[in-house]
Amino acid sequence: MEIEEIQYSSESINVIGGRFVNRLFFRVSEDGMIIVGKNVEDAGKDSQRLDQFLSKKMNQLWDNLFSRGAALPKVFEEIESRHPVLITLSKAKPDDLDKVFRDFKVIPYKKIQLEKGEVWIGETLVIINNSDYSKEVTDKMVEHLLFARVYEIQLERFVKGYEVLWNKVDGIRKQSFIQQTELAHVHDLVLNIQSQASFFTARLNQMQHFLDWRRKLIDEYVVDPALNATFKRFFMSLNSSQKYLQELWGMLTNYIRSTVSLMSFLYSDNERKNLALLQKLFLISTVAAIITLGGIAIIDLQRIVVFGGLAIVLSAFVHYLLFTVLSKYRKISLFKRDIELEKGKT
């Protein structure tokens, strides 16, 4: 990573900060917040460089250090990951700020006038302009600003993750029949979905702790009155969205659990029926062999070999026909009929 300087700061939320030889600097807080930055030369190119560095190096470094036992669900590969950009400027005019937002193709939906400067906030871009606060105070406000934006983006990813997994489970449940040969695959697929949902649920509960932690430190970290009030309202909104998502994921978890139980029952029931069919086939083959041998008046080794061989070949053919060929066309019913409400009841 070519780290040139590194230091540990003991605060309400402890931070590791430092600088790389390529003039990039970083801050990593103990709740998992990672910030990388550099002095602005070309805002567009700088943001692309930071985004690539964060995705390809910084995040991978932290994943390798701390997440070896918790692999990310595959559904994350289907969800776009976005990193918000925060720019601090000095003595910029409103037209300058408008131009930066246009260059980033972001609309500023909130403009906050501070006691010392101003803050413009967009979906993936935040600009702090003309702030006279000290670097230490500004860094703490920046950290809280970015935490709030990253948290909101993570909640959006959880909504999309919920939609992806729900659609996968619902697609299975809406099938009236499943091919017998596909039952084992579908059973394993539902178990994999359940594993991914468990990760999301645990992660969502962990995020709640981080949100509560940050919310209690707003007065300490955000000293500007206007920005402080805005943050408190924003964190109330985030907390409401968090609770709603926890309810949604709880509902999805129950839906997946019932689907796993259904598939496990169908899988075990199918195996039981196959075993019973094999037992019947073996019994019939044995009885037929005994009858055939009993019909041979003179023990003839050649006849025994011929009839025995034919019995083995015939049994193998019947087994192949029942469990390989015909099983492709055998369907297992998931639901006998739709559930209907009684008349006059809702």
Model pLDDT for residues 194-220, shown as the tens digit of each residue: 888 888 898 899 899 999 999 999 999
Burial 47-66 (b: 16+ CB within 10 A, else e): bebbeebbeeebbeeeeeee
**Residue 48 scores a pLDDT above 50:** yes
The secondary structure element, H or E, covering residue 282 is helix 225-294
| Most confident listed range (57-61, 188-192, 236-240, 289-293) | 236-240
Q: Give the model's confidence band at 237: pLDDT under 50 very low, under 70 low, under 90 confident, else very high.
A: very high
CA distance 29 to 48: 23
The b-or-e profile of 216-239 (16+ CB within 10 A means b, else e) is eebeebbbbeebeebbeebbeebe
Give CA–CA dist 44/51, Å, rounded.
Answer: 11
Top-ranked range on mean pLDDT: pick from 72-76, 190-194, 246-250: 246-250
The span from the CA of 266 to the CA of 264, in Å, is 6
The predicted structure's pLDDT at residue 184: 76
Separation between Cα atoms, residue 286 and residue 295, nearest integer Å = 14
How far, in Å, CA of 197 to CA of 161, rounded? Answer: 9
Question: Which pLDDT belongs to residue 32?
Answer: 84
The overall average pLDDT reported for the chain is 80
What the block records as the tokens of 150 is 């990253």
Return the pLDDT at 342. 42
Is the pLDDT assigned to residue 249 strictly greater than 60? yes
More confident residue, 2 or 280: 2
Question: pLDDT value at position 335?
Answer: 46
pLDDT at residue 306, as a whole number: 64
Residue 233 above 60 pLDDT? yes
| Per-residue confidence band for 157, with pLDDT thresholds at 50, 70 and 90 | confident
CB 6 within 8 A of CB 18: yes
In the predicted structure, residue 326 carries a pLDDT above the cut 60: no
Burial class (CB in 10 A: 0-12, 13-18, 19+), 334: middle
pLDDT at 344: 43
Band (317; pLDDT cuts 50, 70, 90): low
- Mean pLDDT, rounded, for 84-103: 91
Eight-class DSSP state of 342: P
Q: How far apart are CA 302 and CA 19, in angstroms?
A: 88
Type and span of the H or E element at 279: helix 225-294
- Does the pLDDT of residue 309 top 90, yes or no? no
Per-residue pLDDT at 341 exceeds 50:
no
